[in-house]
Amino acid sequence: SDVTLCECFARDGLQHEPAFIPTATKRALVERFAAIGFPRVEATSYSNPKVVPQFSDARDLLRSLPRSPGVFYKATCANTKAVQRAIQDLDAGCGVNEISLLASATESHSLKNLKRSRAEQWANIEEMVQTAGGRFRLVGTVSVAFGCPFEGKVDSESVLHDVARFGSLGVQHVAIGDTTGVATPLSVKNLFREMRKSKAIIPIAHFHDSRGTGLVNC
């Protein structure tokens, strides 16, 4: 009961597939994850369809998706326009009840992944929180928190500053992303020990198994 698992494959896994996955296949995956017992399921992303065509069917998927009681269904939002799309679907009765807000721990990754500097993205996040208007459970995500493919090792103090910044915006759930799978049990333990000192946030881990350490890090 101390650990809540979120299944992210329908978004984080499928976004890298070059061929478009049929909406019905995605829906079946999300339904199955909920049926297995995951209390949080990342269902889709409100990415720009021109940039990530895999999720051009976000609304169609959500409109056709039956919901299991007690399950939070999440969508990733990279900008204010994405949050506005989430609100439109919520008003239409088919929206998600949880959205992710993304920040990168390094300048290089922010420019590459989000097409914005860190300063620009944090201003964007503030606007996204205001736009959401308390209608969703917000999850702040700090990407490349343990290591950046462009800048190498990431300073944990910088990551903790980002965590605190999410908390100051009223984002209670904050995920630390091991985006490239370089975290170790010791680095995880040390970072989460510091995160848990804050009463303003609920710490979340987002691990990858690139080097076979995903489970042991959990």
- pTM (global) more than 0.85: yes
Q: What is the 3-state secondary structure (H, E, C) of 57-123?
A: CHHHHHHHCCCCCCCEEEEEECCHHHHHHHHHHHHCCCCCCEEEEEEECCHHHHHHHCCCCHHHHHH
What local confidence, expressed as pLDDT, does residue 1 receive?
63
What pLDDT is recorded for position 146?
A: 95
Give residue 210's pLDDT.
86
Residues of the chain with pLDDT under 70: 1
Q: How far apart are CA 118 and CA 103, in angstroms?
A: 7
Give residue 142's pLDDT.
97
The pLDDT value recorded for residue 5 is: 87
Give every CB contact of residue 60 below 8 A, 6+ residues apart in sequence: 23
